[in-house]
Amino acid sequence: MKLYIKGFSSYRSDIDEVEIKKVLKQKYKYDPRRQDAFIHLGVYGAMLLKDKIGIASDDELFVTTGIGNIEVVEKTMVKLEKEKESIKLFDFLNSVGNTTSYYIASSLNLKGKNIFQTSDNFSYINTLISTYASISNSAKNAIISTIDFATSTNNIASRLLGVDESCEIVSSVNYQKVSLESDGAIAELEFDTLSYSLEDVESMLKSCDMKIMVSPRCSTLEYEKDLNFFENIASYAVNSALTKSEDLIFVDCFEDRYKILKLKSLK
């Protein structure tokens, strides 16, 4: 399966020093009230994408996250279990994934399909598959958003994400506008539904002449990898390669399952 990337945007908390709520209010004239930091992160990435490429009202939207908004879930549990109090209305609303995708769609003036989804440890790749299936049927373009929000409870996040607790978990939001048509595309992204064994991956990489990066979770693979981590790091790796007009193979893994993305620059 292949998707053609027309535009992209990225933000990482360990690279970019940005007061997101302040920028949303002052630069983009966006009203962030009744929304939490997780939603602000998603909307900020959407605004960055909107700065770089045109968005059509019927573009489909696919929003995904790894472990979601832990902060609001933890706040809810403290209220209910420890303090024996009712949760605030907007804390409840913000804990619902579709609330995030609603605010993102509204900020981009989208009127078409709007999906918020999570999946088991390969949320970005699974969202690419969902996007491909959807626009193959609709013949429209799509916007993919990956949101990873780090909180003070990173020890919980580390366990859920399957990385060592010494690995720093950071916040990141990444967008790509994609199409099935190559006209005007800056890159081609290839993927499949298969899970590979370590032996399969090692064999494929030996004969590869493209740049190779692997997820920090791939501890047995001795290739370039990021020092920090977030669930959808594959999405950031794609955007980073797009910035440099590089071809890239990215390997993600969880336990004994491996998945592969191939990015080919068209610039």
- Which pLDDT value is given to residue 84? 56
Same domain, 67 and 49: yes
- Which pLDDT value is given to residue 89? 47
Same domain, 35 and 128: yes
Same domain, 237 and 205: yes
Question: CATH number for the domain including 32?
Answer: 3.40.47.10
Rounded Cα distance between 173 and 232, Å, is 9
Other beta carbons within 10 angstroms of residue 194's beta carbon come to 10
Beta strands in 71-164 (DSSP E): 114-117, 142-148
Same domain, 108 and 236: no
Same domain, 156 and 206: no
User: Beta strand 114-117 with 60-65: parallel, antiparallel or unpaired?
Assistant: parallel
Q: Which residue type is seen at 107? A: S
Same domain, 204 and 178: no
Same domain, 245 and 115: no
Rounded Cα distance between 230 and 163, Å, is 10
Same domain, 118 and 145: yes
Question: What domain count does the chain have?
Answer: 2
Q: Last residue of some domain: 146, 162, 187? A: 187
Q: Last residue of some domain: 171, 187, 203? A: 187
Q: Per residue of the chain (267 residues), give pLDDT as tens.
A: 999 999 999 999 999 999 999 999 999 999 998 888 999 999 999 999 999 999 999 999 999 987 766 666 555 555 445 555 555 544 555 455 578 999 999 999 999 899 998 877 899 999 999 999 999 999 999 999 999 988 755 555 555 565 566 667 889 999 999 999 999 999 999 999 999 999 999 999 998 889 999 999 898 999 999 988 888 999 999 999 999 999 999 999 988 899 999 999 998
Residues 21-40 as b or e (16 or more Cβ within 10 Å = b): bebbeeebebebeebbbbbb
Same domain, 135 and 223: no
- Which pLDDT value is given to residue 169? 81
Same domain, 160 and 78: yes
Same domain, 8 and 98: yes
Instruction: Give residue 80's domain range.
Output: 2-187
Q: Last residue of some domain: 149, 165, 187? A: 187
- pTM, full prediction: 0.88
Rounded Cα distance between 136 and 67, Å, is 28
Residues 223-242 as b or e (16 or more Cβ within 10 Å = b): eebbebbbbbbbbbbbbbbb
Decide: 62 and 142 in contact? Cβ < 8 Å.
yes
Same domain, 122 and 152: yes
